[in-house]
Amino acid sequence: MYILGIESSCDETAAAVVSDRKEILSNVIYSQIEEHRPYSGVVPEVAARAHLEKIDVMVKKALTDANLSLDDIDAVAGTCGPGLIGGVIVGATFAKSLAFAKKIPFIAVNHIEAHALSVRLTEDIEFPYLLILASGGHCQICVVHDIDHFQILGQTLDDSVGESFDKVSKLLGFGYPGGPIIEKLYHEGDKDKFALPKPMCSKGNCDFSFSGLKTAVLNASQKCVSSQDKKDLAASFQKTVAEIMSFKMKQALNFCFDQEIKINAAVISGGVAANLVIREGLKKTCGTVPFFVPPVKLCTDNGAMIAWLGAEKFRRNEFNSLDFQPRPRWPLGDQI
């Protein structure tokens, strides 16, 4: 069985072909970083136009790389939310059109759920497992009991962690995208120079907050008199975020223990999962609990995770009609 996955929720136009045997036959991505770099962030209208220009090229390349044609595809899975609605509409409409033309099933995919399940494409992980989902637009921690069954333990009360990296990088004048830039600066600066707050870490819950941390960075930046000072501040920010993530993972592990939820693993997924500093901290925190992270190429937005969730749903005969409405918001587990 071969599933074509199409992703266009933010600033990557992606397509992939995945089999139900966990084979990634192709996984192609067009990144819009250069289009958005002048604005130090993603501009929705620019993103939507870029998706429209590139989506057919990406799908054709995905099929070519997989050495398949549309006649070999058993179903088309397309991101239908959440995300920037203009881009979501472009990808969802293209996916529906292919399914209609070839008379094969269409599967509407929740982009965030695809991140949550992506680790099962490369690892043999059984439900339930503990998950931190961290990206440019989302930050939450949950127990993944099954497909479409998520027990939310906590989530950000303001900005996502990925968004915070971008904003801090812009504030300090280091550019976009902020995540990889600040991770690099972590190794060039003094991570202990600035004592930054860890919001929500004095409370016994799993919620996140990053607005106060960003304000603290802003205040500290006014005391920076050299480029090295700014590197030190960036390194201190990276260290603090990693400590916050580890603290919340520990809280979630304690919750599972107290509630006698026998998790099989702990996972971080989403774009921020590519951050090695955060990964290392979480792995240490998990101790004897098996800790997994998807490969870096599956952490950022990609078509393979969309296709894989499509494959998981195909096995359960979970298909969608072509009038399924794309949506900018789509909470985990919400099937309306």
CATH at 203: 3.30.420.40
For tokens 């099954």, what's the residue? Answer: 146
Q: Please report, for residues 185, 214, 219, 240, 271, the alpha-carbon distance to residue 235 in angstroms, rounded to integers and kept in the order given.
A: 6, 14, 16, 9, 19
CA distance linking residue 111 with residue 261, whole number of Å: 26
Residue 317's Cβ-count burial label (10 Å; 0-12, 13-18, 19+) is exposed
CA distance linking residue 239 with residue 244, whole number of Å: 9
Residues 98 and 203 in one domain: no
Structural domain tally of the chain? 2
Tell me 125's DSSP state. -
Please, what sign has the CA dihedral across residues 161, 163, 164, 169? positive
Residues 68 and 216 in one domain: no
Q: What is the span of the domain harbouring residue 278? A: 126-293
Residue type, 259: Q
Residues 209 and 144 in one domain: yes
Residues 284 and 304 in one domain: no
Per-residue pLDDT of the chain (336 residues; tens, 9 = 90+): 999 999 999 999 999 999 999 999 999 999 998 999 888 888 999 999 999 999 999 999 999 999 999 999 999 999 999 999 999 999 999 999 999 999 999 999 999 999 999 999 999 999 999 999 998 788 999 999 999 999 999 999 999 999 999 999 999 999 989 999 999 999 999 999 999 999 999 888 999 999 999 999 999 999 999 999 999 999 999 999 999 999 999 999 999 999 999 999 999 999 999 999 999 999 999 999 999 999 999 999 999 999 999 999 999 999 999 999 999 999 887 654
Residues 72 and 144 in one domain: no
Is 270 contained in some domain? yes
Residues 229 and 287 in one domain: yes
Structural contact between residues 301 and 111, judged by C-beta atoms closer than 8 angstroms: yes
Is 324 contained in some domain? no
CA distance linking residue 3 with residue 308, whole number of Å: 8
pTM (2 d.p.)? 0.94
